[in-house]
């Protein structure tokens, strides 16, 4: 049977040339590239049926040299006005060395994905050897975070029978409740610049001391205490909160991060709450807007501040204009009995 010349084969020979091309690739990226942080995504609360989690965390940031392929500007760099607000459509294409990724990052990823019993990624063995869709890139030029949308493996197309780079196509990251604990302030302050799921507490029930910005607070349920104080309840009365499967479970405490503290107005805004629960109907009062976090004790883990809340509500986001529309309608509406049935239907 005919076959290619083994002395010039791209699959059985050229090992020296492959190493040379890999070294040249690394050198070119080192000269013309930029130090960029790669952040692998950890999936929390993994649903084994859908192979997806309800929340993601970014706990590590690996510095890697990358070449900016879109060197003359963002791809599709424009701002889009959508019904959800102004959306950035900036895209970025980067190239990184495969061998550098496999040597510097891959050894840590498999163990990282499998930390804990509730964060197991069934594909960790496959995805540990490469960046994957959903991971993030920190771009220092504009203090921006980009999400990896696609990883291309065959560019350039198997020179000497091997690939030397990962070409990753990224798009501006849109925050949706992820947790950032990488240890780098420029990255970990990402949630503070968003309006995603921030809860505002009215602390006019009294308290002591002052919260500090970005400290972690612990929230205790005191709704069943007749005369609550700033002392931590003993025993602790757990919250009854729905989990991901829609089943009520006991949650002893809830943690959150301080985003803003208005001491004179006694208003506390927190984000990154460890547990949330939808408003639901109270079987006794028929109140359909009852919030399980209305009457709580909030304790600052660092400052030691302790305050009692009388009410809690989801802070309005710039993308949600329902309340604004309703308020404007209430101001201009005219109630006329004759207009209640303009078509005369019975």
Give tens-digit pLDDT for 42-86: 877 666 666 666 678 888 899 999 998 877 766 665 666 655 555
Average the pLDDT over 85-96 and give the result: 77
Separation of alpha carbons 284 and 282, rounded Å: 5
Contact 218, 236 (CB under 8 A): no
Q: Is the pLDDT of residue 155 over 60?
A: yes
Query: What confidence score (pLDDT) does residue 39 get?
Result: 92
CA 102-107-109 angle, to 5 degrees, is 100
Identify the CA nearest to 36 among candidates 14, 13, 68, 5. 68
Q: Is the pLDDT of residue 94 over 50?
A: yes
For residue 322, report the phi and psi dihedrals to the nearest 5 degrees. -60, -50
Identify the CA nearest to 178 among candidates 257, 114, 121. 257
Which residues, other chains included, contact 169 with Cβ-Cβ below 8 Å and sequence gap of 6+? 91, 92, 93, 148, 149, 150, 151, 152
Separation of alpha carbons 176 and 56, rounded Å: 9
Contact 143, 37 (CB under 8 A): no
Backbone CA torsion sign across 209, 213, 216, 217: positive
Separation of alpha carbons 168 and 162, rounded Å: 18
Query: What confidence score (pLDDT) does residue 211 get?
Result: 93
The CB density around residue 67, as the number of other CB atoms within 10 Å, is 21
Q: Is the pLDDT of residue 341 over 60?
A: no
For a pLDDT cut of 70, what percent of the chain falls above it? 67
Contact 38, 137 (CB under 8 A): yes
Separation of alpha carbons 112 and 210, rounded Å: 36
218 vs 130, which has greater pLDDT? 218
Contact 91, 61 (CB under 8 A): no
Q: Is the pLDDT of residue 185 over 90?
A: no
Reported residue count of the chain is 346
**Cis link prior to 156 (omega < 30° from 0)?**
yes
Helix boundaries (H) for the chain: 15-32, 98-104, 106-113, 124-127, 185-188, 322-332
Separation of alpha carbons 282 and 306, rounded Å: 28
């Amino acid at each position: 049977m005919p076959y290619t010349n083994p002395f010039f084969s791209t699959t059985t020979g050229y090992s020296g040339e492959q190493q040379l091309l890999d070294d040249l690739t690394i050198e070119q990226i080192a000269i013309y590239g930029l130090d960029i942080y790669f952040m692998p995504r950890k999936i929390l609360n993994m649903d084994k049926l859908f192979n997806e989690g309800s929340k993601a965390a970014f706990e590590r940031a690996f510095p890697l040299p990358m070449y900016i392929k879109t060197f003359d500007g963002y791809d599709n760099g424009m701002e889009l006005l959508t019904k959800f607000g102004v959306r950035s459509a900036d895209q970025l294409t980067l190239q990184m060395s495969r061998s550098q990724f496999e040597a510097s990052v891959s050894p840590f990823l498999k163990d990282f994905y499998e930390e804990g019993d509730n964060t197991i990624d069934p594909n960790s063995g496959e995805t540990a050897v490469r960046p994957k869709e959903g991971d993030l890139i920190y771009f220092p030029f504009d203090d921006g975070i980009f999400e990896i949308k696609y990883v291309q493996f065959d560019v350039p197309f198997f020179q000497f029978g091997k690939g030397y780079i990962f070409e990753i196509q990224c798009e501006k990251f849109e925050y949706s409740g992820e947790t950032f604990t990488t240890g780098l302030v420029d990255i970990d302050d990402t949630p503070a610049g968003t309006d995603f799921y921030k809860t505002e507490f009215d602390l006019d029930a009294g308290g002591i001391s002052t919260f500090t910005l970005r400290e972690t607070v612990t929230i205790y349920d005191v709704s069943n205490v007749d005369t609550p104080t700033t002392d931590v309840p003993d025993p602790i009365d757990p919250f009854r909160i729905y989990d991901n499967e829609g089943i009520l479970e006991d949650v002893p405490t809830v943690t959150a991060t301080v985003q803003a503290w208005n001491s004179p107005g006694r208003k506390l805004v927190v984000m990154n709450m460890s547990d949330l629960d939808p408003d639901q109907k109270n079987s006794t009062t028929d109140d359909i807007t009852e919030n399980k976090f209305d009457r709580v004790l909030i304790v600052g883990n660092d400052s030691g501040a302790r305050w009692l809340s009388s009410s809690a509500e989801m802070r309005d986001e710039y993308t949600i204009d329902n309340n604004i529309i309703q308020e404007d309608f209430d101001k201009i509406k005219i109630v006329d009995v004759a207009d209640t049935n303009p078509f005369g239907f019975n």
